[in-house]
Every structure is written in structure tokens, then in C-alpha cells.
Amino acid sequence: MEKGDLKVLNKGEDEEMELQGYRLCRWRLALVGLGVLCTGGFLLLLLYWMPEWCVKATCIPTTACDAEVVLLRSTDEFRRWFLAKVRVILAPGSNPFHNLETQTTSPSPTPPPFSFSSSSLANGDTRHSSHGIPAQELIRRYVEYPPTKIHYFTLHSTKYYWNDRVQNFQVLTGLDDLNVTAATLHSEHSKGLTRNQQEYRRLFFGLNEIEVKVPSVFKLLIKEVLNPFYIFQLFSVILWSADEYYYYAIAIVLMSLISIATSLYTIKKQYVMLHDMVAAHSIVRVSVCRANNDIEEIMSTDLVPGDVIVIPSNGTIMPCDAVLVSGTCIVNESMLTGESVPVTKTNLPNQLPGESGDEALSAYSIEEHKRHTLFCGTNVIQTRFYTGELVKAVVVRTGFSTAKGQLVRSILYPKPTDFKLYRDAYLFLLCLVGVAGIGFVYSIALSIVNKVPAKTIIIESLDIITITVPPALPAAMTAGIVYAQRRLKNIGIFCISPQRINICGQINLVCFDKTGTLTEDGLDLWGVQRVENGSFLQSDEKASKENLVKSQFVACMATCHSLTKIEGQLSGDPLDLKMFEATGWILEEATEEETALHNRIMPTVVRPTKQLLPSQPSSTEQDMELYDLPSQYEIGIVRQFPFSSALQRMSVVARLLGEKRMDAYMKGAPEVVAHHCKTETVPDNFAEVLEGYTKQGFRVIALAHRRLESKLTWHKVQNVNRDHIETNMEFLGLIIMQNKLKTETSAVLQDLHRANIRTVMVTGDNILTAISVARDCGMILPQDTVIISDAIPPHDGQTARITWRCADKPSMAAHLEDVSISLDEPKQQERYHFAMNGKSFAIISEHFPDMLPKLVLHGTVFARMAPDQKTQLIEALQDVEYFVAMCGDGANDCGALKRAHSGISLSELEASVASPFTSRTPNISCVPSLIREGRAALITSFCVFKFMALYSIIQYISVTLLYSILSNLGDFQFLFIDIAIILVLVFTMSRNPAWKELVAHPPPSGLISGPLLLSVLSQILICFGFQMLAFFWVQIQPWYTIWTPLSDACNVSSHTNMSNLNETEVDDHNIQNYENTSLFYVTCFQYLLVAIIFSKGKPFRQPSYKNWPFVVTALILYIFLLTNMFYPAQAIDEFLQIVCVPLDWKLKLVLVIVANAVVSVVVETFIIDIVLWKFVFSRDKQGIAPAAPPPQKGFELLAADKCLCCPNKVTRKARYMHLAQELSVDPDWPPKPTTTTEAKACPENGSSYQMKSIS
């Protein structure tokens, strides 16, 4: 791409592209049109396949601002080209945020009447507003403003507008582009827009819809038919028809039609499913607030950023991204996060006069303020408001800029998946084309020397190309995939992208979602262990016992949570829900009227059921004070300090009915809670008891309590700092939770580990829960150490930092230092894993880019990951050359499922639309089954490709030899070989089922590898040698003469008569001769031989003898050929144009065939498979390091490989293997828990970070 006026779009983002402007050139366009006519349309096809050639051939470069066409190229490893036409609209203003009255760039959400301001993106048609008011109408209304031309182009459902200020095209995403603060959102943007303002903004934003257009069948058909392979097949069919080779042409046409029809059905079905998923609930009626305080009902498609919408009290499906400015909402965000737990969204903080607050003054960001943001597609279950206020939200983003829109875009326009097999297949085909070129030139030269007619020269020389590059290759390569797809369907795994089945054979790392995938939904209470007088009591299975009902322990369980009631049902975090249900208490919330009366602080009340209350009060000293209370036992939750993942705890302030003093209750990570308690209240054996539970895989929560000072009144509590509350607590005990795994999980993970397939957990859940589940299922072994990476972004002039801490109890830190860092122990004994949350992942990706590959090499747990972060993790793993599978069940997994080499959905809902594979069985047992079938399909593809390559070369050799005597194979000989032998063998040899278990090494991923190339080349040489032997040997036989219809080598009069009947045909084509017959029989047996040799079984497929259709077919063909050779049938000989040869030559032909078989079997089975495969190519069948051992095993396998491989042979290893070797000798890796890692402001020597010790 020219560097003159080169622009970079989306700089630093995933969709970064280079842009060059062009304008149409009439004389170039005319020349191209002439070229299209002269080439019979082939030039047009070429320009269709190569958009960059199309632009450069018809346009001349110009500046980006004057461009009529833009040519874009992605900056990623794929370097894809895109073409877009620049369009122009007229508007009364150039910027959606301009105020038409003052022509300033400052936003004015409450302008004077009949003025406009606007916002910033475009999704949909921007030429007209949804009410039908075109841009021209707005221009007429504001004649004092000269019409402004606005240039834009659309790519991947995103509009790019020309920005004069930065002299580049930019995407305008929404209201957050203004960098408005929370205070500004309240003061200037919460009144709403006038209808005219909305009309003007819609010129830029378009309709608020996520439109998935379902292409017509005709459009899909044209796109499919214009595939280069189908064009080549069309060329071949025309050529064969010209040569009167109709039967095979018809067979190829039928196979192509079936293939095209299947492909069209699959693609159309995917589009319809995605369209239906997006269209559901996407258009609703909404109430908007106008600038004059009126409330108007409009369609959601009319919304633009800056509109203020009213959230109905009974809930709704959000049609856009909006920030709450008043009220509270309970929202189900499972569409985005995959977690079915409803979350509470509060209004954006508003800085009142005289107050100070950093949050209100900070710029609004969807990511940072997501607890105040309602996302498109999420379900608002119910709302809460106070003192008669409406629940309002300001629209921030619409259309494809929303969270849901970005998710749909990731499904519609995924990055291509690179697979070595397909790249190598094209290289191999290019080699075959080169061989065909040699034959092409040879046949032309030979024909000219022998004065062959021009028509015959053209047909025969072009025929060499169709022989060498078989048009049936795509259908043959698809056979194994189709059989694998059918077997997968039989076990409940459905596939919408069959080509991904081959890629599954190379999977060496699997990412699993947690909730609903590895585990059942939620946690179960296993038991409680209370503390009295600084000592643990015996553990109890239940907390709802009569003697515990009025204890502080149960009071803490009943109050320290964030539960709420939705339509009469308790809802909230599963842990909180299980904990509260275990008490047997009841939760009651204030009504809207009560809340209004008490000015927002009417408490939530919890109380035990009457059945739980003891009939006679206990006389224990500990609870004596509690029993001197009224008979009605209720606790009001006065204030909540919500759970913080950074603090690892939550607390509440509550008051018992009738009591003046309040109580503080805390729950959280045991070490954290113990740290905030008085030392004397924490049992001495606290660490040992905790370790005992965690080693068993339990999730342990600690509880604590403190009686607050009497001076803390109700209103003071509302403003008190949580640090004042969370101190000098009394330790109450432990709650032991069990996150139940699905019964199949552990066994499946064990199978994957035995096969050296790494497993990674990527979830939206809490990091400690995720680590606990990872230990429980065997993803992290009990003795392994988990290092949590906590990243802190730059702030107050400090650079970004990573702090490292051990996930286990503090006493484990020393153990980590001894095991992981000590240089006295062998490095291969290290067993450590990294765990991090989504926030840390984002910071590390941005500020520590060269550390990210090292972390993902040993990263096992990735928690609190947003949907886009899951996709980024998949890409990071692919960057270090892992073949990654993703298994999930939620819509939040869609992007990752699409981006992974293999995505497996356990849900038939949203995730199945994006996922290539969907399992009807809702557990991960489908994963090893899919990998086994993928390996079998991949090996089948290799077998078929090698067989088709040999078939082409064998036929090429025989035809070239026959050309030398101005002969050729007959039409029905071609037909018999191509249909009866090749196609039948291809479709039966592909039926071998997968091997019953996963072995430790994957099959090779590419054709360009030592063993495979050696196998193909050796068989080519063997077949060439024996064909040459037969061809020249027959010519020196004592009975040999140039064959004529009167030849009588066999003394068979019937054969002579047959020849006389075909005299005219023989004279024209010279098909019937001794060389032709000899080569026909030898090559037929060669086809059968290479099919058997290349049909490999164990360790990836079942043995060929279990594939009965293949065995039966091969036997029938052998019997037929031998029978016809020794006992010829006149009808068959006439059909195949075979001549009779003496018996002694038939025996010599059998000798040639047997010798060929022996040599081929010895070379393939013993020399290549045993000697070279095991000793020379032992590192990997493709010259690549072993697939993907778990990090703990990587070093041992590397050491073993060095012993097996030739010392002087340099083999290419995947990048993650290089990293493993580098880290094995790095004394500073893994980071110690006593260090921090800081980003360098100016990286030196390629490193973006440095280690520092901290206390």
C-alpha cells in the first residue's frame, strides 16, 4: 500500500487497519472492461478474488478526504484487504455535538427551542430519520446554516466519519466520546432532547437497531459458486464435454451441486438463527423525557445518544446502553456475563453543591461505571425509586456500538482461523500445478512434432492440468469431515462449521467456562464450624438448629448478604442465597410507600420463622442478653458495605428490634476476616483447620461480629466509613461451602491431562471460587501453588504495577518460595499456576505486553472476565501458538467460542449461534469426543490428500508415457478409474472411526513435513519406476508389434473381430495398444495399493480392517481386475478398450504388481513409520514440539525430546515451547510473593517491566 497519504484507523485496537484513498479513473475503467471482454470474464473473476487489484486497476490514489473509494488492510498477521465506497450526506451541521444556534463544539443538552445538538456514531441508514424526515428537510428549516457535506464509509456494520480536525476517518461511538463527567451527565444531560434535536442526531447515528441482514439464496449462491475451486471444476467440465468425456463430467457436476446446496443450507440457517436471536426483544416501545419535561412514547429504534428514557417499574429488555441517573434497577445480565445472578444497578453519583467526590468529577466510562450502566440486551427485572421519582437513564450508545452490538459484530465478522493444513494444501496444489505445467509444455511440443491437429493439441494439453490437479479433490477432502460430522451427531454434538472438525484434531489447550460447564449452578452449604471463647466447636451440618437461632453466628448469616426480592422470590449471589436459606429465616423488604416515608433508609428486615424460635429461652450466658427481648425477633439491615473483590470481604450494620445499639457483621475470605478480628478471638489452630478444608476443595467463608458504640445513631451510620466499622471484630466461625462439580468433570479433565492437553478456566465468577473449583476438579493439583496476579493501573504519577500473592494461606508463601524459586532443586519439579481477574488481565495486556505470553503459559484461572476479555485471552493463547478450544454455555462466551480454533457450546440458545459445535449433552464429556473425532478426521484428510496426490501423479505418469507413442487412456478407462476406483475408495477409506482414547501426541498439523513428504515422494518414485518397467518391458517382448486391429498376440479370433468393429475409433485416438493395456492394469493395482497403505489406523483411527465398506470394496476391485486379466470378458474388454495379451505377459504383469506392493509396503510401513518416524522425526510427526503438555510437564518432555532427536537437526517448535525453555533457566521466574513488578515508562532492551522487592 502506498505510503503517501496512508492513514491508520483504530490505532492500537484489535481492528487496526491501514487506509488509502482512491478515486475512479474512467480510462482505467474502460481498459479493465475491455480486458474482461477479451478474457471472457476471467479478469472480472480475478478482480473479485483480489479486491486490492480491483481498486488499483480502476482507480488512482488520492487524499483520504477526497476519496471516492477506500482500500483498507488489517495490520494483524492475516493482512486482509477490504474495499469500501465513500458516501456523502448533507446536514445542517458538521458535528453531531455542534449546537446549530451557536456553532460551538460544546455540548448543549438543553438548547433553546428549535436548535440541535447531536451525538456520535452511525449504525443503520443515516440518510433519513426514522420518522421519514430527510436531511434536506432539516436543511430547509435552518437555511441560515450552509449545508455541510459529510463523508463516511461503512465497514463491518460500523460507520467511519471523516474528521477534519484529525484529518482521518473515525468511529463515533456515543455520548461517552464527549468525556462527560458524572456531574455533567446529571446537570446538563438529564433533561432530555427535543424532537428536533433527536432528528438531527439520527442523521449521524441512524436507527437504533442491530440489523443482521439475511442474504438471499441467490446472493449466497453466487458467492459460493465464485469460489476458485468451483470455477476450476466448471473449466474441467467444459473441457471434458469438448472431449466427449460426459459421464465423469456429470458425476463431478452432481457432487458439486450437492456440496453447494449443503453449504448454502448451513450458511442460510446460521444467518436466520442469528437474525432471530438479535431480533427478539430488540424493538420495544419506550418512554422518553423531552426537554420541556413532557414524557413521550416512541419506538426504541428512534433512540439516539442523549435521550433520557424512563425504565418501567415492571422491567424491560434494554434496547440500548444507558446510564442510570435516578433510581435503582435489578438486572439480569446473563446475556453478557453468563452468570444468572441478578445484579443491582444504582444511579450515577451526583455531586451536590458543597460536596466533593472524585467519582462525580471523573469522566464517565462504561467500563469503570458499569455498576451504574444498563447494557443493551440485558433484562431489567424490576426498578426501585424514592419519593415519587421516576427511574431514568441517559442513552449512551445505540445500535452496533452497544455491548450487544459488539457481541453480534464479533459473531458476524470473526477473525479468520489460520490452520497449517489448509495453507500447506494450497502450497501442495501449487506444486501440482507446476508439475502440470511441465506436462502441458511437453504435450504441446510432442503434438507439434507429430503434427497433431490444433483442436486435439489444445484439449489434450489442457487435459493434463485436470489430471494433475483433480477437480474432485474438494469433495474427496470433505468425505472424512462428513463422516466425522455424522458420528458427532450420533453422540449429540451438532456442527455448523464442518471445516473446524479437522482443526479439533490439533487442539492442545481447552478453556472452560465454570458455572454450568464444569460445575452445577451455585454452591451448596456443606456445614458450619462455630467458635466460642477462642476455640472451634464441633462442625454442624445445619445452621437452623433451635439452639443456634438467636446466636450471633446465625444473625450474621441472615444479615450479611446482598439479597433482594424479585416478584416475591429471593434473588442474588448464589453463595448469599445458600447461606441465607440455610438459616431458615425470612426476608422482608420495605414497600415503595414505606421507603418514601423514611427518606430512602427504610431497612430490609430478616426474622426467623415461628417454628425455629425456641419455646423456652436457653440459659446460656452467651445468649442471655438476646433473650431478654420482645417475643418478636427481627433484625433490620441498616446499611450494607458491598462485597469488594479487592478487599475480599463485605459487611453490614444491623439492629435488633428493640435494641438501641447496633451490630456490625462481616463475612469474607478467612485470612482477611481473621486479620480484622481481635487476636484472642481467633483460634490457635485456625490455619490448620482452614488448610484442611481448602485441601478438600471446599470454599470457606469466615464470619465476624462487633457491637457498635451507642453514639452511632441511625443517620450517622449512613455516612460512616467502612474502615471504622470493620475493626476489632470478634471471630464467629467458618461456613463451609461446596461448589458441586458435574459428575463427569474430573474424569474428563484427567483424560485431557493424560493426552497432554492443557486446561484453563475462564469465568465471570469470583477468583477465589474459581481457584477452589480448579483444585476440586483436578485442574490444579493439591500440591500445586497458585500465584494471584493483582495489577494496578497507573495513577498519581506512578506507573502500572503487578503485585504477586499466594492464593493459599500465608504459611504457604514460604513453601512457594522454596519450591518455585530455589535453584538447588531441579527446575522440572516446579508446579505453579497463575490466576488473575479481568481487570488485571486488561492492565497487563496494556502495560506489560511482553509479560502476557509468560503468564498465559502457566495461567490456569482467569476470573471476572468480560466477554471481550475472554476473546482477548483466546487470542493471547493463539499468539503463543496453542490450538485453543473454548467450551461454554452463555451468550457472554459467544465471541470466545467464535474466535477459538474450536468453540463448543453446551447451550442451544445464544451461544450455539456463534459456536461451531453445540452439544446436546450439558457437560464437558463432549470435549474429548470432539477431539478424538477431530484427530480421526485430520488423519483421514491427510490420507485422502496423499491418496489423491498419488492418484493424480500416477495418472499423470501413465498419460505422459502414452503421449510419447501418441496414445492415451480411453474415456471409459478414465471413467472406470475415476468413478469405480478413486471415488469409491475415497468415500470408503474415510469411514474409519476414531480411536477409542486420546493419546499423548496429536497428529501432524501440516502437509509440508518430513515424514509426510517423504512418504508421498517415495511412493511416487516407486509407482513411476514400476510403470516405466511395465511400459518398456512390454516393448521388448518377443511377441510385441505395433498393435493393429488385425494383431493376434493371443490367437483369439473373437478379440480380432472386436477390434475390427472399433477400427475407426482406434485409428482416431490410438487407445487400443499393448502399452495402454499394460499400464491400465498396473496403475489400477497401484491405486488400490496406495489407498491401503495410506489408510492408517492406530493411534488416531480404528484399524482399516474394522472399516468393512473399505475392505469389501478393495476385495471386490482386486477380484474384478484379476478375473478380467486372466479370464477376459468380451463385453468388458470392449467397454474398457483393452487388448488381449499373452498369458506369460499377464504373469509378468502380476509379478510387477506384487513387487510394487512389496516395495511400497516395506518403504511405507517399516522404513518411514518405524525407522524414520520413531528416530528421526520423534520430536513430532511434523517437526514441532509435543502438543501442549501441562506447564508442569513441559520441561521433562523437552529434555526427553533432546535425547530422541538428531543432535544436529534443528526442528521448529511452537512459541510456547520456546517460552517454556527460556523460563526454565530464568532465576526471576516465577515472581516471588515478596516482589512487585513495575512497568517502565521507557522500555529498554525490549522489556516493559522490572522486578522490585517489597516488604
Q: What are phi and psi of 421, to 5 degrees?
A: -55, -45
The widest CA-to-CA distance across the chain, in whole angstroms, is 127
Q: How far apart are CA 577 and CA 561, in angstroms?
A: 8
Cell 439464496 belongs to 217
CB 860 within 8 A of CB 834: yes
Task: Identify residue 195 by its one-letter amino acid code.
Answer: R
Helix and strand element counts for the chain (H, E): 44, 42
User: 3-class DSSP state for residue 649?
Assistant: strand
CA-based nearest residue to 701, from 595, 574, 818, 614: 574
CB 962 within 8 A of CB 1079: yes
List residues bridging with 650 in a β-sheet. 667
3-state secondary structure of 480: helix
Distance of CA 668 to the CA centre of its chain: 34
The b/e string for 357-387 (b: 16+ C-beta within 10 A; e otherwise) is: eeebeeebebeebbebbbbbbbbbbbbbbbe
Task: Please tell me what DSSP assigns to residue 254.
Answer: H
Determine contact, residues 965/1075, Cβ cutoff 8 Å.
Answer: yes
3 state DSSP class of 181: strand
* Residue in 363, 375, 362 with CA at minimum distance from that of residue 324: 375
Amino acid found at 1127? Y
3-state secondary structure 756-778: CCEEEEECCCCHHHHHHHHHHHC
Please confirm, yes or no, whether 513 is among the known catalytic residues: yes
Q: List, edge to edge, every strand of the sheet that includes 730-738.
A: 535-536, 524-532, 730-738, 699-707, 663-668, 649-656, 635-644, 604-608, 585-588
Q: Pick the catalytic residue: 463, 513, 868, 971? A: 513
> Partners of 804 in the beta sheet?
789
The enclosing H or E element of 438 equals: helix 420-449
Taking only Cα atoms into account, the Rg of the chain, rounded to an integer number of angstroms, comes to 37
**CB-CB contact of 512 with 742 (8 Å):** no
Residue 55: beta bridge partners? none
Among residues 477, 232, 443, 468, the alpha carbon closest in space to that of 954 is found at: 468
Cα angle at 997 between 992 and 1001, to 5 degrees?
95
Main-chain phi, psi angles of 786, to 5 degrees: -110, 125
Helix axes 403-412, 246-279, angle to 10 degrees: 170
Beta bridge partners of 1244: 1247
| Residues 636, 654 contacting (CB under 8 angstroms) | yes
Burial of 416 (0-12, 13-18, 19+ CB in 10 A): exposed
CA dihedral 101, 105, 111, 117 (to 10 degrees): 90
CA dist 385 and 369 (Å) reads 20
Q: Which amino acid is at 1095?
A: S
User: Can you list the alpha helix ranges (DSSP code H) found in 170-289?
Assistant: 182-188, 195-205, 217-225, 228-242, 246-279
| Gap between the Cα atoms of 1121 and 1115, Å rounded | 10
CB 577 within 8 A of CB 557: no
Handedness of CA 856, 860, 861, 867 (dihedral sign): positive
The answer to whether residues 905 and 495 touch, using CB atoms and an 8 Å cutoff, is: no
| Residues identified as active-site | 513
